[in-house]
Chain A
Amino acid sequence: MDNGLLIEARDVCVVRDDQYILNQVSLDLLHGEILTLVGLNGAGKTTLVKVLAGLMAADSGMVNRRPDIRIGYCPQRTHPDTTLPMSARDFLRLTDAAAGMSVTGILQEVGIGDLASRQLYRLSGGEYQRLLLARAMLRRPDLLILDEPMSGVDMAGQSELYELIPRLRDEYGCGVVLVSHDIYIVMAATDRVVCINHHLCCSGQPESVIRHPEFIALFGDRIAGTLAIYKHDYSRDLHDNALEDGP
């Protein structure tokens, strides 16, 4: 595969009960890039990342992963079960740490170094998301997939997480796929935005995607307008209209 290309998906379709969950979605994931996947609830975002990660098979289409790719996957928030006694440290020991990575080190790096012996079900939403992130990073992944990492996290915690994710990307040089139904995330540290609604609506740099008619149709004029205000703070070239239309 090309240099820098982690996963290449072409014309991926997933059908359930005669309905297209995903319809002819094509996507490339690149090394070192933060890609944000936006779309309404039920638009097929989680299905798409599961197909990309190899957790689910596509009904048609093709997914090529770089050989020996290591994927760190943080699923949507699940409530830890109180019947299972397990500390944060034990949770991280369920995976094989990559060379040079340690449980204590990664806990500190994601900012919950003092919670190693805390039981899972006693962690707050934000602490649990950080723990999932720590488990994924422990393997030094080539690609980090975060499915709705902000759910159950309060506002202060959210902005800290938004800062943490690009920092981890810079330090470990992994690609990142961030799934969100919260479009404000679009303007955070994202290199590329892909908007799906079963099919691929539009993709490109954040400031161009929010002007795309399909994006405005999905999320509404008002929200696109709000985001346009954010845009002035954005460091990129505002006149870059490069827009990759979906099929």
Chain B
Amino acid sequence: MPEFIINALLAGTLLAIIGGPLGCFVVWRRMAYFGAAIAHSGLLGVALALLTGSLLLDAADNSNDPGYRLGSTLVNDPWPAVLIVSLLLAMGLLILQRRHLLASDTLLGIVAHGSLAVGLLIVASMASLQVDIMSYLFGDILAVGDADIIMLAVPGIAVLALLVGNWRPLLAATVNADIAAAEGINIRRTELLFVLMLACVVALGIRLVGVLLIVSMLIIPPATARRLTNTPVHMAIAASVISVLDVWAGLAACWYFNLPAGPTIVTVSMLLFIAVMLLPEQK
């Protein structure tokens, strides 16, 4: 097997394992649209990184200028900027939601589509940079290199460790925030922690399956797993296993039939969901 397929398998498996339990919380807390808003803003993150980077490159006098070095870093690798924008946006959204200025889905819709539109405009206006918009919208898991695996694994495993370590307070706050608060759990802290973990995984996942598809990797496997399980822990583990199978089957299909990877993985995931829904309901 060529190395790019091995890297794609590794990166996809990693995202699938983390996405299982995290996605369960997205489903339980009804935060799919929150995740989508962060994902859509990922393109704005890319655009801002490229714009700032190219402005710095233009302004720099020579290649030893620190501005030049920062600029070329931003242009060559916008992903750290995407992560930072996602985390900031997640915190901002949380603050706005707590103020109840607007219905939550309206607020998220404005942020999701507004940031996507502005991101597309900025990218389109930078004619000097050849930006492959499609790879941001639908991901480019086959372009993942060795260094990218590390960049994915380190924050990914940190999120997984935090999720496991805070499992019970997170779950208690999800089931009933008032009871959990009366029992001494800090609800705001738990909520912030969850939203930051979500933003982190979404930002990492955009690279693999794109702005438009990342949320489906977080919600379809848990939705499939729900039908097959009876406890929260089993659902989380099953979601990871199902998601890994989706990634492997999707990548195999895209390899043999020469299909685009991101949409293939999501299609496989959806087909498996439909198949499980057709099973008779367990008692």
Contact check, B231 vs A83: say whether CB atoms are below 8 A apart.
no
Give the secondary structure class of B's interface: helix
Within the complex, the shortest CB–CB distance from B176 to chain A, in Å, comes to 6
CA distance A87 to B175 in the complex (A): 12
CA distance A86 to B24 in the complex (A): 13
Which residues on A sit within 8 Å (CB–CB) of B88?
none
A55 at the interface (CB under 8 A from B): yes
A139 at the interface (CB under 8 A from B): yes
A residues contacting the other copy or chain, number (CB 8 A): 27
Minimum CB distance partner of B227 in chain A: A85
Interface size class of B (residues with CB under 8 A): 20 to 34
Contact check, A53 vs B182: say whether CB atoms are below 8 A apart.
yes
Contact check, A71 vs B168: say whether CB atoms are below 8 A apart.
no
Which residues on A sit within 8 Å (CB–CB) of B179?
73-75, 95, 132, 135-136
Contact check, A95 vs B28: say whether CB atoms are below 8 A apart.
no
Contact check, A84 vs B175: say whether CB atoms are below 8 A apart.
yes
Q: Mark B143-181, 1 if CB is under 8 A from A, else 0.
A: 000000000000000000000000010011011101111
A119 at the interface (CB under 8 A from B): yes
Q: Mark B233-272, 1 if CB is under 8 A from A, else 0.
A: 0110000000000000000000000000000000000000
Contact check, A94 vs B182: say whether CB atoms are below 8 A apart.
no
Within the complex, the shortest CB–CB distance from A175 to chain B, in Å, comes to 14
Minimum CB distance partner of A132 in chain B: B179
Residue from the list A78, A85, A119 in contact with B176, Cβ < 8 A: A78
Residue from the list B168, B174, B180, B183 in contact with A84, Cβ < 8 A: B174
CA distance A73 to B187 in the complex (A): 15
Within the complex, the shortest CB–CB distance from B282 to chain A, in Å, comes to 11
Which residues on B sit within 8 Å (CB–CB) of A96?
183
A81 at the interface (CB under 8 A from B): yes
**Which of the listed residues B176, B226, B235 has the most CB atoms from chain A within 10 Å of its own CB?**
B176
Contact check, B232 vs A72: say whether CB atoms are below 8 A apart.
no
Contact check, B172 vs A95: say whether CB atoms are below 8 A apart.
yes
B residues 94-115 near A (Cβ < 8 Å) are: none
Contact check, A85 vs B178: say whether CB atoms are below 8 A apart.
no
A162 at the interface (CB under 8 A from B): no
B73 at the interface (CB under 8 A from A): no
A11 at the interface (CB under 8 A from B): no
User: When A83-B27, A85-B226 are in contact, do A91 and B182 touch as well, CB less than 8 Å?
Assistant: no
Within the complex, the shortest CB–CB distance from B198 to chain A, in Å, comes to 17
Within the complex, the shortest CB–CB distance from A101 to chain B, in Å, comes to 14
CA distance A75 to B181 in the complex (A): 11
Residue from the list A75, A81, A83 in contact with B178, Cβ < 8 A: A75
Which residues on B sit within 8 Å (CB–CB) of A95?
172, 179, 183
B76 at the interface (CB under 8 A from A): no
Contact check, A81 vs B28: say whether CB atoms are below 8 A apart.
yes
Residue from the list B27, B180, B232 in contact with A86, Cβ < 8 A: B232
Q: Mark A177-205, 1 if CB is under 8 A from B, else 0.
A: 00000000000000000000000000000
Residue from the list B180, B181, B232 in contact with A85, Cβ < 8 A: B232
Within the complex, the shortest CB–CB distance from A145 to chain B, in Å, comes to 8
Contact check, A71 vs B229: say whether CB atoms are below 8 A apart.
no
Minimum CB distance partner of A75 in chain B: B178
Q: Would you list 17 pairs from A and B whose C-beta atoms are within 8 A, ordered by A residue?
A: A50-B178, A72-B182, A73-B178, A75-B176, A75-B179, A81-B28, A83-B27, A84-B28, A85-B229, A85-B234, A86-B175, A94-B168, A94-B171, A94-B175, A95-B179, A135-B179, A139-B183
| Given A54-B182, A87-B231, 17 further pairs, Cβ under 8 A | A54-B181, A55-B181, A71-B182, A75-B178, A78-B176, A81-B28, A84-B175, A85-B226, A85-B230, A85-B232, A94-B171, A95-B179, A96-B183, A119-B230, A132-B179, A136-B179, A145-B182
Chain B interface (Cβ < 8 Å from any Cβ of A): 27-28, 168, 171-172, 174-176, 178-183, 226, 229-232, 234-235
